[in-house]
Structure 1
Amino acid sequence: MSKIDLARAFGFSDTHVDQLYDAGAPFVERGGPGRPWKIESAAFIPWYIKRKQDAATNDFGRVKTREMTARAKQRELKVADLEGQLIPTVEVVAYLADANSTIRARFAAIESQVPGLSDEQREQLRSAIADSIEGLSGDKPEDWKSAPTDGEDDEMDFG
């Protein structure tokens, strides 16, 4: 049997047959320019079947390992939940929102704690505060409730 015959018999492309031989498929004689490959199908067929079985077994083993790992993680999370070691997402979100609000308020208070600022200095301070808050929380000044500009009793309202 030649390489072309093998490809036709199994519905393989020539490239796939070459890949199989690179992977160790048995053959009688390697072909070359003007010389066809000599292949013994009686040796190739069992080799190919074993290769497919090994691939399927390896795939099944990987799937089974992933499944066992996932189940073990689920059990660990359930135990941690029962022992009170997990914090519900709602509580974490509420805590972070409160912390973010506190940070905003403290940043807003900075301006009122620095007396004697010129209008230009006050604007630079506001800009620096706005940049800091935006960097911390992703909030943008246009999302804030208001930003006073009259110079009197200037406390920024960050929401």
Structure 2
Amino acid sequence: MSGSIDGRLVNRADLAGIFGVSVNTVTNWIEKGCPYVERGSNGVEWQFDTAAVIDWKIQRAVENVAMSAGDEGGKDSSKARREDADCRRAVANAIVAEIDADEALKAVVSRHDVVADMATFCQVLRTGLSNMASKVAGRAATMTSAPEIEAMAKAEMNRAFTAAREEIAQRWFAGRDPDHDAGGADRNPPAG
């Protein structure tokens, strides 16, 4: 395959998931020279470029095949192992291409984007619920019945949830045609 493949940045757990191995296996890869973008430390996650890791894995597989071929000296065995390495390379390239296609079709979202959006959602919700407490406290003093206080508290709580839902909907669906339905994959959240 000609040209370079653009990878994406992932942490150790995501890298382990992509390759179908354990996090301990990824740690062993690091000890054996697996390339990384940022070394993990307290409070900082490891960052890996998937394309660089795939290239590294392919190179190691080719080197292992070459060493095995040199040890055995058999042409048939060497050819079979070379074909096996080429097959693994093709599978790795197909995985990267599938990830790229999913990203281009917007069928997947970045974990970092979702974390940021959910943090904003929680912050808006927290602000709304904090405001609810002060509003309820101020108004409840003038009310005489428990059902009246409960109804007011529910209304304020619903207002906080609605504000948070609208904030996340604005982030996720901003600039889209409301009638756009990409196969049913993306839809505005239900009201209520």
Q: TM tier, shorter chain?
A: 0.3 to 0.5
Between structure 1 and structure 2, the one with the greater Rg is 1
TM-score, with structure 2 as normaliser: 0.32
